[in-house]
Every structure is written in C-alpha cells, then in structure tokens.
Structure 1
Amino acid sequence: MLDAAVAVPPPPPDEAIRGPKARAILDAAGELFLGQGFAAVSMDAVARQAGASKATLYAHFPSKDALFAAMVAERCDRMAAEAAALAGHGDDGPEAALRRLCRTVLAFLVAPATLAIQRIVQAEAGRVPRLAEAFFAAGPAAGRDRLAGWIAEEQRSGRLRADADPFEAAGHLGALLRGDLWLRAGLGVPPAPDVDAVDRAAAAAASVFLRAYGVPGEASARAN
C-alpha cells in the first residue's frame, strides 16, 4: 500500500507529455485505466500497450499514481484550452461568453470518460489515498485555479464585480455546474445528459453566477 504521508507527485511539465512516446503512454494508460480500473492495471501492462520499454515509461512517469495524475491533467488541459477559446468576447457580450465557458466545462464534467475517472478514484480512495490527492490536484483544484484566473481577468476588464474574491467566486461557479444534471449523470440515473440538457444547465449556472458577481450596469443592459 502506498504511504499517504508522502507528497502527491505533480503531473509532469507540459513539455514532457508533448512527445509522441509520452502521448502513446498517456493514451494507453487512459484506455487501460478506464477499461479495467486503477488497481488492475500494472505499469508493465501500460508499457506493453504503448509499445514502450519500462525504462521509457518510468523516465516519463515515475509511478502509477503519477501516470494517472498526468492522464487527468492532460484531459483537463485539453478542456481548458477549448473553454478558453470559446470564452473569448465577441459581439454577443460577456453573458454569452460565460455560457459558452459553462457549456464546455459542464459537457466535460458529464462526459462518460470523466465520470469513469471519478468513479475509479472514489473506489480506490480508501485503499490508495495518494490517488485521490493526485486526482484532486490535477483535476478539480487545477480547474478551480483556471476559473479563478478567468474571473480575475473579467474583473480587470470591468465585466465582473471587482470586490469579489476570484477564488471564492470560482468555487461558487464550480458548485453551480455540479448540480442536478452532473449528479444524475454520475449516478447513472436516466436520461443521460444530451446537448440540450447541458445547454440549459450551463445557461442557468451562468445566469445565477452573473446575478451574484455581475456588474450592475451590465446586468441592466442585458435586461434591456
């Protein structure tokens, strides 16, 4: 059993996972972890699946929980890049941009692969505490930091209240997105979320968030 007192291994630097061999390892790890769970997958199996030597595997990822954390971080990074691109402000204004951001994040949260990763972590957390810590650091905590950064930029641009704590506001937005739709999806309660359901839930989350953190003048402009 892993020692929970040891610090959580951080995901490798971005440049370390951009090469084709590291990419193949992450793809193989994702396929195996999602198909078999964390405990059943060995580093040997990942190396075989990726067509890599064990030396190459350990050169990129020093342990299985570090590999799992890197897989989570890489998937979150892809979602964050998409969300950042969609949240750029155009002629449709800040509310529409926030809705696009919320839609992208929520679609990621209720995606089958994302839910499968969370179930793996929940199932293994009692046995391997470091796995839960690594998942939290690479996924939810990093996501909250990204949202806080986006909110801080909106505050500097005058589109959100300047007196709010960006980190606290990010926590509120994350909680709004992890509502009934996310809970039902995580429990497998039908119906499975479709595009329209995600759009409605994202729009509702954006609307509530702007009531709490929007600039009053901009809120009046939207109403008119």
Structure 2
Amino acid sequence: MSSLLEMLPEQQSPKCRAVMVAAAELFMAEGYAAVSMDAVARTAGVSKATLYAHFSGKEALFEAIVTHACAQMRQRADTLLASHDLPLRQALTELALHWLRFLLRPQMRALHRVMIAEAVRFPALARAFYTAGPQAMRLWLTAWMAGEQAHGRLPADTDTARAADLFLILLRGDLFLRATLALVDEAEVEQSLPGVAAQAADTFIRLHGPAPDSAEEHFP
C-alpha cells in the first residue's frame, strides 16, 4: 500500500486517499469490470455517501487514480530537471530512469494491464486513461524539449513533438514488454534500468542532438 500512497497527492483528505488506494488494489486484483463501488467503500472503510461525495462513479475513480499518479510523476520530473545546467545526455538519462522506474512499478504495470484488458469494453475509460497518462506524458515531454531547444541544447529545426514520441518509444522496448508480461523479476528490472535509460539517451542524442562540432558531447 505504501507505494500507492506515494503516488497520491498529500493534500488530499485521508478518506479520499483511502478510497483511491482501496480502489487501485481492487482494480489490480480483480479487474475493472468486477469491482463495484460497494466493494470500494467496504475496503476503504467509508460510507457510500462519502465515496460518492468524492467520486461520481467507478470510471471517475479509475481516472483519478491514473491522473494523480501521472501528475506526481511529472511533478517529480520537473524537480529533477528544474535547472537547464545539465548536459542534454545526462538530463535525458536521468529523465528516462525516473520514468522507467515509475512505469515499471508493479502497481503501475498492474493498472496498465487492467486498462489493456478493459479498453474494448469501456472505450470512454480508455480515452480517459490515454488523456491522463500517455498523452499528458507526451505533452509534458514535448514542452520540456521545446525548452531545451530554446536553450540551444536541441537544434532549432527539431520537431519537438516527434522527438518526444521517439524518446517515449525508446523507453518502451524489450524490458518494458517483458516486465508488462511478467516475464522478468523485480531484481532484474531494477538491475537493467540504468542501461536501458543510458541507451535511450544515447540513441536520442545521435538522432536529435546538436551537430558534433557544436555540441558539448562528441560521438565516435
């Protein structure tokens, strides 16, 4: 439960946090369709009136869990990269490591599996998940890359939206797939993350970094 609590804003009321943690645990254990709002209220130890005072329904509850978790991840990324003093490769490596650790948390992988399983039956939920999660991540990264471009760390002709897409694709490689399919244990995931992050940053730099004669980083 502690990992789930870390993903939720501290300013929320204790009852609201308890509802979101209980709901997330139920969704991960039973899937979206099988979970009722009654079950969430019982697990959270709150009344149905309290539950509905915070969330209009199950879809809003699931969306809130994803929205708050991803917002926390982006806020921590903002803190991590608050200064433009980091060389581009270092900034990308640290960002990749931060995001991979978030995306590959057991809880986030479980919620991702739930969404993939339920997307066809609940298209509105799938759209909400995409908007709150992957799309918000892409927009944040595009804006950050535009800032790097303005500071001369990316070439002026870089299409920052396409560059952001590329970087996100580099993060969702073989390790991400195997972890999502539960084909790798937690120790191997953690051990592999620094190498995957560095490889993603190096590949991005080779494709979108400044020209070698003007860059801080030179390549063979």
**Which bracket does the TM-score occupy, shorter chain normalised?**
0.7 to 0.9
1:52 aligns with: 46
Task: Say whether the 8 Å CA contact 1:159–1:218 is kept in structure 2.
Answer: no
Separation of aligned partners in 1, 2:142 and 2:204: 13
SS of residue paired to 1:194: helix
1:143 aligns with: 137
Corresponding position: 1:200 with 2:195: yes
2:218 aligns with: 223
Distance 1:155 1:91, change over 3 A: closer
Of 208, 211, 214, 1:213 maps to 208
How many Å apart are 1:66 and its aligned residue? 1.3
Task: Say whether the 8 Å CA contact 1:83–1:100 is kept in structure 2.
Answer: no
Separation of aligned partners in 2, 1:160 and 1:199: 23
SS of residue paired to 1:222: coil
> Which consecutive unaligned segments of at least 5 residues does structure 1 have?
1-13
Of 33, 36, 49, 2:30 maps to 36
Separation of aligned partners in 1, 2:89 and 2:158: 18
Task: Say whether the 8 Å CA contact 2:84–2:148 is kept in structure 1.
Answer: no
Distance 1:216 1:31, change over 3 A: same
Superposed CA deviations along residues 55-105 of structure 1, whole A, max 9, x for unmatched, are 222232212111101101111122222222223447652321211001011
2:17 aligns with: 23
SS of residue paired to 2:147: helix
How many Å apart are 1:43 and its aligned residue? 0.8
1:79 aligns with: 73
Aligned-residue Cα RMSD (Å) equals 2.3
Task: Say whether the 8 Å CA contact 2:23–2:40 is kept in structure 1.
Answer: yes
How many Å apart are 1:28 and its aligned residue? 1.4
How many Å apart are 1:158 and its aligned residue? 1.4
Deviates more, 1:165-174 or 1:183-192: 183-192
SS of residue paired to 2:154: coil
SS of residue paired to 1:70: helix
1:66 aligns with: 60
How many Å apart are 1:174 and its aligned residue? 0.6
* Aligned counterparts, 1:83-122, within 5 A: 83-89=77-83, 93-122=87-116
Separation of aligned partners in 2, 1:58 and 1:170: 38
Separation of aligned partners in 2, 1:154 and 1:83: 14
TM-score calculated relative to the size of structure 2: 0.85
- Give me the identity figure in percent: 45
Distance 1:173 1:218, change over 3 A: farther
Task: Say whether the 8 Å CA contact 1:87–1:98 is kept in structure 2.
Answer: no
How many Å apart are 1:219 and its aligned residue? 6.6
Give the aligned length: 210
Residue type of the alignment partner of 1:73 = T
How many Å apart are 1:217 and its aligned residue? 5.3
Deviates more, 1:86-95 or 1:162-171: 86-95
Task: Say whether the 8 Å CA contact 1:173–1:205 is kept in structure 2.
Answer: yes
> Which consecutive unaligned segments of at least 5 residues does structure 2 have?
1-7
TM-score calculated relative to the size of structure 1: 0.84
Deviates more, 1:47-56 or 1:134-143: 47-56
1:159 aligns with: 153
2:123 aligns with: 129
Residue type of the alignment partner of 2:123 = P
Task: Say whether the 8 Å CA contact 1:88–1:97 is kept in structure 2.
Answer: no
Residue type of the alignment partner of 2:208 = Y
